[in-house]
Structure 1
Amino acid sequence: MGVQKIFVNLPVKDLDKSKEFFSKIGFEFNPQFTNELAACMVINDSIYAMLLVEKRFKEFTKKEIADSTKSTEVIIALSVDSKEQVDEIVNKALEAGGTAATDKQDYGFMYQWSFQDIDGHLWELLYMDESAVQ
């Protein structure tokens, strides 16, 4: 198929507050694609989240912007290297003003925990022991 990168576009109410929130978790922003209307959050070399002020986000869709504090359109799930890293990232999100979306789930081979960012978007961190999956 040839897909090389993913850009998840998310509407935010206050871009500066969202950048501060995600910076506290440990994410960085690409200044080349960041201005007063949008910020390119680097998740890794192939995955990015474009945080767009609602006015800018609305330019890309004819649909209404969902109120993410009341409904869920997507859960952004990120795989990490360990259970400890799941806890570390979610705890940083909670300390930065996010809220827990679910309780920790430990299935032995898979461990996950979710949070809501300050705009209500759902983020799930998970660790999966690939050697335990047949």
Structure 2
Amino acid sequence: MTVGRTLAPVTVSLPVADRMAAYTFYRDGLGLAAVGKLAEDGVPEPLRFVVNDGLRLMLIPADGFDWVTGDHTVAAPGHSECVLAVPVGAEREVDEMIARAVRAGARTVSEPDHRPWGYAGAFADPDGHLWLIQAEQDAGGERAD
């Protein structure tokens, strides 16, 4: 059996209205580490964060997406093209991560709660991008708590 190649790290790019505000939110609200050479404003350019070993997050001024998207427009305010799901170890970590994000400027979209598939909640970052935070489950579908 042949296994496909691994593409790592993958970078998810999101449009943002204000580079400095986005930098502050992801640094303080999610505790992510920015990587790269600092620009004159003290923020890395390009603005990238390490999410984990296989994923990077790049935040691009909304008007900087034109050359990539061509005739495909980004989602209008209030609409989402994707949900970024982040597993954490325990239910309390779901609560803590969402609370930290809200203190840094996020808006709670779905309060943390028990769902048929596990414990999770969601928030929208200051630019409206949706993040789902969920407690990891073991292979049998049980919560990791």
TM-score (norm 2): 0.82
Alpha-carbon RMSD: 1.9
What are the Cα deviations for residues 84-121 of structure 1, in whole angstroms up to 9, with x where unaligned? 11111110110011100112221477210100000000
Rg bigger for which structure?
2
Whole-Å Cα distance in 2 between the matches of residues 112 and 66 of structure 1? 24
Which residue identity lines up with residue 88 of structure 1 in the other structure? E
Equivalent residue, structure 1, for 2:24: 20
Runs (4+) of structure 1 exceeding 3 A deviation are none
Equivalent residue, structure 2, for 1:117: 125
How many pairs does the alignment contain?
131
Gaps of 5+ in 2: 39-43
Which residue identity lines up with residue 10 of structure 1 in the other structure? L
What are the Cα deviations for residues 21-40 of structure 1, in whole angstroms up to 9, with x where unaligned? 111121111124931xx311
TM-score (norm 1): 0.88
- Which one of the candidate residues 73, 79, 93 is aligned to 1:64? 73
SS at match of 1:101: strand
Equivalent residue, structure 1, for 2:108: 100
Equivalent residue, structure 2, for 1:5: 9
1:42 corresponds to 2:55: no
Gaps of 5+ in 1: none
Which residue identity lines up with residue 98 of structure 1 in the other structure? A
Higher normalized helix content (fraction of residues): 1
**Contact 1:42/1:49, CA 8 A, preserved across alignment:** yes
Q: Identity, % of aligned pairs?
A: 24
